[in-house]
Amino acid sequence: MFGELVDKFDDIFRTLRGAGKLSEKNIKDSLREVRRALLEADVNYKVVKEFVKSVEQSAVGEKVLKSIEPGQQIVKIVHDELIKVLGEKAVPLAPMDKAPTVYMLCGLQGSGKTTLSGKLALSAKRKNKKPLLVAADIYRPAAVKQLKVLGDSIGVEVFSLEGKKPPEICLEAKKYAEQNFIDLVILDTAGRLHIDEELMEELDQIKAKVDPDEMLLVADSMTGQDAVNLAEQFHQQLDLTGVALTKLDGDARGGAAISIRKVTGCPIKVVSIGEKLSDLEPFHPERMASRILGMGDIVTLVEKAQDSIDIEKAEKLEKKLRKNAFTLEDFYDQMQQLKKMGPLESLVGMIPGMGKALKGVQIDESGMRRVEAMIQSMTPYERRNPGMIDGSRKSRIAAGSGSSVQNVNLLLKQFFAMQKMIKNVNKFKIKGLPKGANPFQM
Amino acid sequence: MISKLKKLKQSLSKTRDNIFGKIGRIVTGRKIDDDLLDEIEEILLKSDIGVGATDKIIENLREEARAEKVVDSEEVFSLLKKEMAEILEKNKKKSLIENGFKPAVWLITGVNGTGKTTTVGKLARYFKANGKSVMIAACDTFRAAAVEQLGIWADRSGVDFIKAHTGADPAAVAFDAATAAKTRGVDFLIIDTAGRLHTKANLMEELKKIRRVTEKVIPSEHIFSKLIIDGTTGQNAVSQVKVFASAVGCDGLIVTKLDGTAKGGIMVAIAEELSVPVDFIGIGESIEDLQPFDADEYVEALFES
Ligand SMILES: Nc1nc2c(ncn2[C@@H]2O[C@H](COP(=O)(O)OP(=O)(O)OP(=O)(O)O)[C@@H](O)[C@H]2O)c(=O)[nH]1
Ligand SMILES: Nc1nc2c(ncn2[C@@H]2O[C@H](COP(=O)(O)OP(=O)(O)OP(=O)(O)O)[C@@H](O)[C@H]2O)c(=O)[nH]1
Ligand SMILES: [Mg+2]
Ligand SMILES: [Mg+2]
């Protein structure tokens, strides 16, 4: 599931390395894989096509042909180009410099608007601003109640009116805000399809009545090819000023980000990374580019780790990774820590280059227990020097862990593959990639 | 039936006009060549069918066209339809309503916001309309106002409702509901669960526990885990199916929001790779916007021009 893309790039590297220098043909070959990778990441077909063309144009040239490590060059170009599309730097939400500032949220059903409304309110509150949540969804069962519960949980007032249409509710809310020293008004509108003319028209009316400072499209990061259609239509109708991408705490590659960005030209301003109201972050184009390429996102990994991992240990590991001094002991340690953080596969997917290295390692729990038992049966010396584990040591470890020599062999083989991979990652990181794409260069 | 098909066709007509209608235009009066196959590939990819499944479909199409000496490009079109329907149909089930035992428990699962609660409401109405007695249970005790939301659906469908208070242990609620369903002898118990990303181990554990506890009252083979997939979802849906299936099993999908412009091609990708059938599709926010999935109908509606 994970790391497929990483594998592909690994394969590309291999062929490119083998070939020594880049020819137009192997640029084309590797770009075919890039295309495939982007499609698998749900970037829209048309967008992929244009994108690949522009990469090809930058790739075919002296610069690349002369380079020693052509694979790195290609990946760098692809990565740079993706960042360019996603927006070079983070664009913040409209400042709350007039009272009231109005944010209006819109999007398809279930994309995360109501939750995001709560998050924006909390974040305003933390900046010592006074927010007001406006229940402009009169359609979904218990939508008003949902917003009220969220508002209550963070001590933010919720404005609702019975028997009124959303445009009126929003207008009244704005008036109320003006009289009550509210800094930020957040309009939580109902989910709707972009082809629902009546409801799209309703958004238009709300917009005309309240003149929002921020018109945010809230889009699910798991969205497939349809992202271009919905983004186009919402943008056409409403002149979006920004995009919020939700549910990025999952394992979707999030190619929709590229599609939406391409068709609207609007910056992605915030990302939603969980169900809790504090799970809100600014958008990082570099991370997103790495994620879409499946290059891993060690930044997020490390941040995630901070919640559940001993920071000192994490730092030590990072150093070790950098020095290629990763041992079975570290591996075991990681297993223990990672177990606390969530399914291994998703974490492994965040580590660049790990996809292939861990292929075949059973990451189901029973497999993990087996691996654990084997490592537990090793002496500290063996854990630190897996290369020294010979036949008789293997038999002892197998017996001690209730496993077989084959299993011990498999574990070692996979561990060495992983070590090698880390080495490769380090090598190519240090030479080729821009800052930010280099996970070990934080 | 006719009106149902009509509604489906209407919903899919945007799809058809935009995308699949094009196949008709492309294939009419053209020779089968790489360009043609490339164009078909484009159409499939744009429907979220995914690179893997698309490659396979195209490959088969090429082979079959060669083997059967298809020269008329219009025949390619019917081959393509056949191919897609076959993929979608291979996991089809007999009946969703007649089980021969009661209660049958439908455990409704899925990632956040896909339409689980709405679908529970729709299913309750559907089973009831088919003469079955139904009970629904609110095991989403986490999301704000989730219980109230389901309560409204219980009213709309007029079925028994087991509610819980926010923060209650969802497994305990499931246990109570299963016990009540058994005692009252209803035909169906439908359990709504909280949305959870398949990548969250603790939440997947919680779901496993719901199933485990329900099994204390209801035999495992009478419990059906249904995964609700948002029809707008891209390739991630495949991992969703895999992970949910390994946690609590997955014996059917319900694909929602197909009333939009998304093509739901992910169904093909899933069927191609995993043996899970699509039971129902959701085509709107009203209580009757649910239809048993019929592969032929779906493909027919998609390709009709
Ligand atoms: N994991 C995760 N879940 C999220 C995130 N944002 C929202 N959710 C969940 O997604 C589901 C839908 O969120 P809502 O905020 O109700 O979505 P909405 O867009 O308001 O939905 P409608 O009003 O019905 O259109 C809920 O279960 C939320 O808890 C996120 O970033 N990560
Ligand atoms: N257009 C359309 N909207 C749908 C469909 N099914 C559900 N929805 C809408 O999608 C949104 C989310 O639906 P819910 O039933 O709350 O989804 P859920 O999976 O229970 O959400 P969580 O419990 O928060 O994970 C609501 O606005 C529904 O009205 C459908 O088939 N078509
Ligand atoms: Mg909402
Ligand atoms: Mg729900």
Q: Which domain holds residue B172?
A: 104-294
pLDDT digits (tens, 9 = 90+) for B4-14: 445 555 555 55
Instruction: Residue count of chain B, please give it.
Output: 305
Residues in contact with ligand 1 by the CB-under-6-Å rule are A 107, 109-115, 137, 140, 143, 190-191, 246-247, 249, 272-275, 279; B 112-113, 143, 195, 197
Alpha carbon distance A106, B138 (integer Å): 28
Query: DSSP labels for B46-115?
Result: TTT--HHHHHHHHHHHHHHHHHTT--SHHHHHHHHHHHHHHHHHTT--S-SS--SSSPEEEEEE-STTSS
Q: Same structural domain for residues B194 and B169?
A: yes
ipTM of the modeled complex: 0.91
CA of A117 to the centre of ligand 3 (A): 9
Q: Is residue A16 part of a domain?
A: yes
pLDDT given for residue A172 in this prediction: 98
pLDDT digits (tens, 9 = 90+) for B174-184: 999 999 999 99
Q: Is residue A152 part of a domain?
A: yes
**Which residue of chain B has the CA closest to A112?**
B113
Q: Which string of b and e fits B216-249 if b means at least 16 CB within 10 Å?
A: ebbeeebbbbbbbbbbbbbbbbbbbbbbbbebbb
Q: Is residue A95 part of a domain?
A: no
Q: Same structural domain for residues B114 and B64?
A: no
pLDDT given for residue A184 in this prediction: 98
Q: Same structural domain for residues B269 and B192?
A: yes
Q: Is residue B302 part of a domain?
A: no
**Which residue of chain A has the CA closest to B247?**
A364
pLDDT given for residue B51 in this prediction: 94
Alpha carbon distance B106, B92 (integer Å): 17
Residue B16 has pLDDT above 50, yes or no: no
pLDDT given for residue B213 in this prediction: 98
Last residue of a domain, one of B54, B89, B124: B89
Q: Which domain holds residue A201?
A: 101-283
pLDDT given for residue A432 in this prediction: 33
CATH at A380: 1.10.260.30
Q: Same structural domain for residues A372 and A398?
A: yes
Q: Same structural domain for residues A181 and A272?
A: yes
Q: Same structural domain for residues B168 and B223?
A: yes
Indicate yes or no: CB of A222 within 8 angstroms of CB of B234: yes
Query: pLDDT tens, position by position, for chain A (442 residues)?
Result: 233 444 555 565 555 555 555 567 767 777 888 898 899 999 999 999 999 988 888 776 545 444 445 665 677 778 888 999 999 888 999 999 998 999 999 999 999 999 999 999 999 999 999 999 999 999 999 999 999 999 999 999 999 999 999 999 999 999 999 999 999 999 999 999 999 999 999 999 999 999 999 999 999 999 999 999 999 999 999 999 999 999 999 999 999 999 999 999 999 999 999 999 999 999 999 889 888 887 654 444 444 444 444 556 666 766 776 676 778 887 777 777 666 555 555 555 555 445 444 444 445 556 777 888 888 888 888 888 888 899 999 999 988 888 889 889 988 888 887 777 777 666 544 333 333 332 322 2
Q: Which atom of ligand 1 is nearest to the CA of A118?
A: 15
B51-67 vs B73-89: helix axis angle to the nearest 10? 130
Residues in chain B closer than 8 A to A225 (CB atoms): 45-48, 234, 262-263, 265
- Could you tell me what percentage of chain A is helix, strand and coil, using 3-state DSSP and rounding each to the nearest 5? 60, 10, 30
pLDDT given for residue A424 in this prediction: 66
Last residue of a domain, one of A259, A283, A307: A283
Helix (H/G/I), strand (E/B), else coil: A411: helix
CATH at B227: 3.40.50.300
Q: Same structural domain for residues B34 and B172?
A: no
B197, two tokens: 């990303």
Q: Same structural domain for residues A202 and A146?
A: yes
Query: What's the burial of A208, exposed, middle or buried (CB within 10 Å: 0-12/13-18/19+)?
Result: exposed
**Mean pLDDT calculated for residue range B23-45:** 73
CATH at B68: 1.20.120.140
Q: Same structural domain for residues B242 and B178?
A: yes
Number of domains in chain B: 2
Last residue of a domain, one of B64, B89, B114: B89
Alpha carbon distance B27, B16 (integer Å): 15
Number of domains in chain A: 3
Give the closest of B42, B144, B266 to A150, CB-based: B144
Q: Are B193 and B207 in contact (CB under 8 A)?
A: yes
Q: Same structural domain for residues A117 and A262?
A: yes
Instruction: Residue count of chain A, please give it.
Output: 442
What angle is formed at CA A383 by the lines to CA A382 and CA A385, rounded to 5 degrees?
A: 60
A169, two tokens: 């509710």
A143-154 vs B146-157: helix axis angle to the nearest 10? 160
- Could you tell me what percentage of chain B is helix, strand and coil, using 3-state DSSP and rounding each to the nearest 5? 50, 15, 35
Q: Is residue B229 part of a domain?
A: yes
Give the closest of A36, A110, A226 to B115, CB-based: A110
Q: Is residue B99 part of a domain?
A: no
Q: Same structural domain for residues A152 and A251?
A: yes
Mean of the per-residue pLDDT values of chain B: 88
pLDDT given for residue A353 in this prediction: 47
pLDDT given for residue B148 in this prediction: 96
Q: Which atom of ligand 2 is nearest to the CA of B149?
A: 16
Residues in chain B closer than 8 A to A44 (CB atoms): 46
CATH at A22: 1.20.120.140
Q: Same structural domain for residues A223 and A338?
A: no
Q: Same structural domain for residues A337 and A279?
A: no
